[in-house]
Amino acid sequence: MGEGDRVIEIGAGLGSLTLPLADTGAQVLAVELDPAAVAALQDLLGGRPDVRILRADAMKLVWEEALGAGDDGWVLCANLPYNIATPLVLDVLRDVPRIRRLVVMVQREVGERLAAAPGDDAFGAVSLHVAYAADATVLRHVAPTVFWPRPAVGSSVVRLERRAVPPVDVNADRLWRVVDVAFAQRRKTMRNALRRLGLGSAAADEVLAACGIAPAARPEELGLEAFARIAEAVPV
- Give residue-wise pLDDT tens across range 113-149: 999 999 999 999 999 999 999 999 999 999 988 887 8
Extents of the domains making up the chain: 6-162, 172-233
Fold exhibited by the domain 6-162: Rossmann fold (3.40.50)
pLDDT computed for residue 236 by the predictor = 65
Cβ atoms within 10 Å, residue 109: 15
- Residues 181/193, Cβ–Cβ less than 8 Å: yes
pLDDT computed for residue 229 by the predictor = 97
pLDDT computed for residue 6 by the predictor = 96
pLDDT computed for residue 17 by the predictor = 94
User: For residue 32, is pLDDT > 90?
Assistant: yes
pLDDT computed for residue 72 by the predictor = 82
Q: With respect to CATH, is domain 172-233 assigned 1.10.8.100?
A: yes
How much is the mean pLDDT over the chain?
A: 94
DSSP sequence for 43-78: HHHTT-TTEEEEE--GGG--HHHHH-SS-S-EEEEE
- Give residue-wise pLDDT tens across range 158-175: 999 999 999 999 999 999
User: For residue 86, is pLDDT > 90?
Assistant: yes
φ, ψ (nearest 5 deg) of residue 171: -65, 120
pLDDT computed for residue 124 by the predictor = 96
